[in-house]
Structure 1
Amino acid sequence: MTASEIPRIPERLFVLPGPRLTRQDVPALCERLASHLRSAGHPAEVTCDATAVTHADLAAVEAITRLRLTAVREGARVTFRNIGPDLTALLTLTGLGP
């Protein structure tokens, strides 16, 4: 199989708002991600950029976790980029780390 024959996996970018995510934000964020994936034709992979999320707390952990679940339910793999060190530490502490 040559490089041109390997199927390309579309990657889409989803940008998280910041600086703080609240529990009230989570349902709307998940719906926004699901809608984003549907409008993109259900890509196999999505990247969530967390640059703007600078406040690390359990609401942010919940948001990340529920966004992962939403992507899986929509048939996409999800990766997160630019997660700050404090949020990374919380995700690791809870067993949900990258």
Structure 2
Amino acid sequence: MRRHEYFVYILTNQNKTVLYVGMTNDLSRRLSEHTDKYNPEGFTAKYKCKFLLHWESYQYVRDAIAREKEIKKWRREKKEKLISENNPNWDFLNKEVVEN
């Protein structure tokens, strides 16, 4: 049986002034879509959110959806704390995901 994998992720813009929370089953593809402005009318294109700061992996889609909803409800300060726990310098992590 094939193991499924789902990702909850947080993106930002170049100046790190906007945070976007999303969920996908293919993080590398989804990052490319954000970079290529797959949806030019969408939030990430409008605010130029294409830089990965944080991601989490889940086996079950329902867990990933629940986590995405949970994080989306948080205030910015709590999201910043989550990012800083694993990425204290707020480095852009796109290359780590796309190269793997």
Per the normalisation by structure 1, the TM-score is 0.26
Find the structure with the greater CA-based Rg: 1
Structure (1 or 2) with the greater strand fraction: 2
* Structure 2 length-normalised TM: 0.25
